[in-house]
Amino acid sequence: MQTSLRRGNRRRSVASLLTGIATLGLYAFQFGDRNELNKMPFTKVQALAEDLPKARSLAKQGNIDFLVGQAVPGKTVTLRGEVTDANCYLGTHTHAYDHAFCAKLCAAAGAPLLFVSDQGGQVYLVLNQQNGIRLPSDVLDRIGVPGIVVKGKVLESDGMHALAIERLAQ
C-alpha cells in the first residue's frame, strides 16, 4: 500500500513538472516579442543604436534576445591589410587608395566591410568586436588605406572567415 502511494505521488510530481514545463514553453511562445519589436521599421531601430540603455529596456520588456555589447568569440590576432567595402571588392575587385572615398561612402550607406590581409590575400568579413557596437572611428577613417594593422579576433563558420576588429594596432 505504501509503495503504491509513493508511485502515485511520483507520477503526480512528474506530471506536475511536465505541465509546468509545457506551461512555461507556451508562455514563452505566446509572449515572445510582446511589443512587436521585431516588426519595428529599420529607421526606428537605427535610432536606438545611439541609446543602448533604451534599446536594452525595450528588448527586456518585449522578451527579445538582446546580445548587443557582448564580446565576439574567436582567436586573438594582429593582421596587416586593408578594410574595404564588399560591394566593389567582390563585384570588380576594386580597392585601395583610388577607391577609398567610394568605399567609405558605401560603408556609410550600410554596405558590408571586408578585410583583405596582406598575408596571403585572405579575405575576412568584418565584424564589430562587440555585437551592436560601432567599429572605432579611427578604423572607419582608414577604410581603403592599404597596410593598416588591426587587432581583433578571427572566426570561421561554414567556410566563411570573419574578423572582429577591436582597434588599430600601434
DSSP H helices in 66-163: 86-92, 100-108, 137-141
Q: Look at the block and give the residue holding cell 503526480.
A: 12
Q: Give whichever of 31-45, 119-133, 153-167 has the largest mean pLDDT.
A: 153-167
Q: Are 87 and 149 in contact (CB under 8 A)?
A: no
Q: Are 114 and 83 in contact (CB under 8 A)?
A: yes
Q: Give whichever of 12-26, 53-67, 115-129 has the largest mean pLDDT.
A: 115-129
pTM of the model: 0.66
Higher-pLDDT residue of 16 and 47 is 47
Q: Could you tell me the pLDDT band of residue 151, with boundaries at 50, 70 and 90?
A: very high
Write down the pLDDT at residue 38. 66
Q: What is the DSSP letter of 130?
A: B
pLDDT, tens digit, for every residue of 87-103? 888 876 766 767 788 88
List of residues 6+ apart from 95 with CB closer than 8 A: 82, 84, 88, 89, 103, 116, 144
Annotated domain spans of the chain: 2-62, 75-168
| Total Cβ atoms within 10 A of residue 60 | 10
Q: Give whichever of 5-19, 41-55, 105-119 has the largest mean pLDDT.
A: 105-119
Q: Look at the block and give the residue holding cell 568605399.
A: 103
